[in-house]
């Protein structure tokens, strides 16, 4: 490896447990802050249905196989992973809180904001639901509206809007059980559409207003941003798998044949294909080959993609931001690779569109196949993992990355035995400085607040639910 495994620059592992595949990405930041992918494991997923674990053993076995491949490629023993959560059970709501300060002359502090976030965790939920994340939006300080970060201001009354993301407790329990049965520690749990957003969206898009659409195997995840703030999230229970099933039924094919047909020849627009283009598929059990028109295939794909993006547009309208999304739609995930999808999206929604590749945060010397949209979520989990690692307390870092602290301790005990060894002493000081904790970087309010509620497993009261 070109970079050493240190406290400041650990190797982070993202584990994307999807409906059609389980992907494990081992990566490390280089000196420019870009990700160098050290290894990728990818295994078909048979124990996950529409983003939720439906078979513990099959999912655990797939995780073991995926992690083993990632370890082989990277040469790194994987002990802890940052995991994504998605599925139809994910929902979001808006809420508002009012906080009265004791003295109007006192400055608003991070602790005041944290207390408001804590209050949001007391909102009423449906039975079996749990809050995943509470994300602050705009604040109001004594009738001064639309304040993004009120810390340092003076006031007596603080109001705020919050975006609350919830999910089923059992869904997280099952994910955690599979990860632990595979002999791994779960360092963090993140919402998958937010992870994908971190990998493919640009700062200018987040400011201008953008919709992230992640088309996976079992679900299509949506996240809407404006002024760099998450405004709306949703999950549509249709994605790549249902298109494959439609092709199986419409063309009377086996699932592997239908999947190959979709990925190799699938087009979202029938008008862009020719009727006289024919695809020949080998017959089943020695039967004659089956001939399928490209136009027929495109009609099958188009019908389902139009349905998916009609629901995407419904979510956009429901968010209230339909007329202020100046950066349009960014579509990623394995399902984003259908031919002519960009044109279909623009026809269906009236918004500009682009395909999101996770290239902006990758080092240039990574292999091209690692820049595929199917790895957007996994790479986003690594990026979010670095943010989470920086926010961890020392005891949390020691729990998940003990080898880093063992190395640091070994260096720190090296001391000179006599004043005559001035040169050696200077060398030891330089070595020890490599492991000195860096000064905390200034965080924006969103990063600061999510440090408290990144996942369900940091709260002592929640831990009892999962043990």
Q: What domain count does the chain have? A: 3
pLDDT score of 72: 94
Asked, for residue 429, whether it belongs to a domain, the answer is: yes
What does the alpha-carbon distance between residue 355 and residue 196 come to, in Å, rounded to a whole number?
12
What CATH number did the domain enclosing 299 receive? 3.30.420.40
User: What 3-state DSSP class applies to 214?
Assistant: strand
* Separation CA 282–CA 169 (nearest Å): 46
d(CA 351, CA 354): 10
Distance separating alpha carbons of residues 103 and 411, to the nearest angstrom: 48
CA distance 185 to 291: 50
**Is residue 348 included in any domain, yes or no?**
no
Final residue before a domain boundary, out of 150, 165, 180: 165
pLDDT number for residue 433? 38
Q: What pLDDT, on the 0 to 100 scale, is given for residue 382?
A: 92
Residue 103 lies in a domain: yes
- Do the domain assignments include residue 251? yes
* Model pTM score: 0.77
Domain extent for 151 = 91-165
d(CA 138, CA 162): 8
- The pLDDT of residue 414 is 45
Q: What is the CATH number of the domain that holds 137?
A: 3.30.1490.110
Domain boundary residue, one of 287, 304, 321? 304
Distant-in-sequence, close-in-space partners of 398: CB < 8 Å, separation ≥ 6 = 405
Instruction: Name every residue whose Cβ is closer than 8 Å to that of residue 235 and which is 6 or more positions away in sequence.
Output: 51, 86, 87, 88, 89, 90, 91, 193, 219, 220, 221, 222
Domain-embedded: residue 154? yes
Each residue's pLDDT tens digit, 131-141: 888 888 888 88
For residue 159, being part of any structural domain is answered with yes
Is residue 273 assigned to a domain?
yes
Please tell me the distance from the alpha carbon of residue 361 to that of residue 376, in angstroms, as a whole number.
11
Task: Tell me what pLDDT residue 443 has.
Answer: 52
Query: Distance (Å, rounded) from C-alpha 363 to C-alpha 28?
Result: 10
285 domain-assigned:
yes
Given this model, what pLDDT does residue 310 score? 93
pLDDT at 215: 92
Residues of the chain with pLDDT under 50: 1-3, 410-442, 445-446, 448-467
pLDDT value of residue 4: 64
CA distance 236 to 52: 13
**For residues 19 and 217, is the Cβ–Cβ distance under 8 A?**
yes
């Amino acid at each position: 490896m070109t970079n050493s495994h240190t406290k400041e620059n650990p190797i982070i592992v993202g584990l994307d447990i999807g409906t059609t595949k389980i992907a494990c990405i081992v990566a490390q930041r280089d000196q420019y802050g870009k990700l160098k992918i050290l290894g990728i494991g990818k295994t078909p997923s048979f124990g996950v249905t529409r983003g939720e674990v439906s078979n513990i053993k099959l999912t655990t076995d797939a995780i073991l196989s995926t992690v083993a491949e990632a370890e082989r490629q990277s040469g790194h023993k994987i002990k802890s992973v940052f995991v994504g959560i998605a599925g139809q059970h994910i929902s979001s709501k808006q809420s508002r809180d009012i906080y009265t300060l004791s003295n109007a002359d006192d400055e608003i502090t991070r602790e005041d904001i944290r207390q408001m976030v804590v209050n949001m965790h007391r909102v009423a939920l449906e039975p079996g639901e749990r809050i995943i994340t509470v994300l602050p939006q705009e604040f109001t300080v004594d009738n001064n509206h639309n304040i993004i970060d009120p810390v340092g201001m003076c006031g007596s009354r603080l109001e705020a809007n919050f975006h609350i993301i919830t999910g089923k407790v059992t869904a997280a329990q099952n994910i955690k059980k599979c990860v632990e049965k595979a002999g791994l520690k779960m360092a963090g749990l993140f919402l998958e559409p937010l992870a994908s957003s971190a990998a493919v969206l640009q700062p200018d898009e987040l400011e201008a207003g953008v919709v992230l659409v992640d088309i996976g195997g079992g679900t299509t995840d949506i996240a809407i941003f404006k002024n760099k703030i998450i405004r709306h999230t949703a999950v549509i229970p249709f994605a790549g798998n249902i298109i494959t099933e439609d092709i199986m039924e419409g063309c009377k094919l086996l699932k592997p044949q239908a999947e190959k047909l979709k990925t190799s020849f699938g087009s979202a627009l029938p008008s862009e294909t020719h009727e006289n283009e024919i695809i020949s598929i080998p017959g089943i059990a020695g039967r004659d080959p089956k001939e399928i028109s490209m136009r027929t295939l495109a009609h099958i794909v188009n019908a389902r993609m139009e349905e998916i993006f009609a629901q995407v547009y419904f979510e956009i309208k429901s968010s209230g931001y339909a007329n202020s999304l100046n950066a349009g739609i960014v579509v990623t995930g394995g399902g984003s690779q259908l031919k002519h999808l960009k044109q279909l999206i623009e026809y269906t929604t009236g918004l500009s569109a682009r395909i999101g590749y996770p290239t902006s945060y990758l080092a240039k010397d990574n292999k091209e196949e690692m820049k595929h949209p199917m790895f957007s979520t996994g790479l986003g989990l690594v990026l979010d993992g670095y943010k989470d690692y920086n926010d961890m307390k020392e005891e949390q870092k020691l729990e998940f990355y003990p080898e880093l602290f063992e190395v640091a301790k070994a260096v720190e005990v090296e001391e000179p035995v006599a004043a005559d060894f001035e040169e050696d002493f200077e060398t030891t000081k330089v070595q020890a400085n490599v492991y000195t904790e860096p000064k905390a970087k200034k965080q924006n309010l969103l990063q600061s607040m999510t440090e408290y509620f990144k996942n369900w497993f940091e709260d002592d009261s929640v831990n009892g639910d999962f043990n």
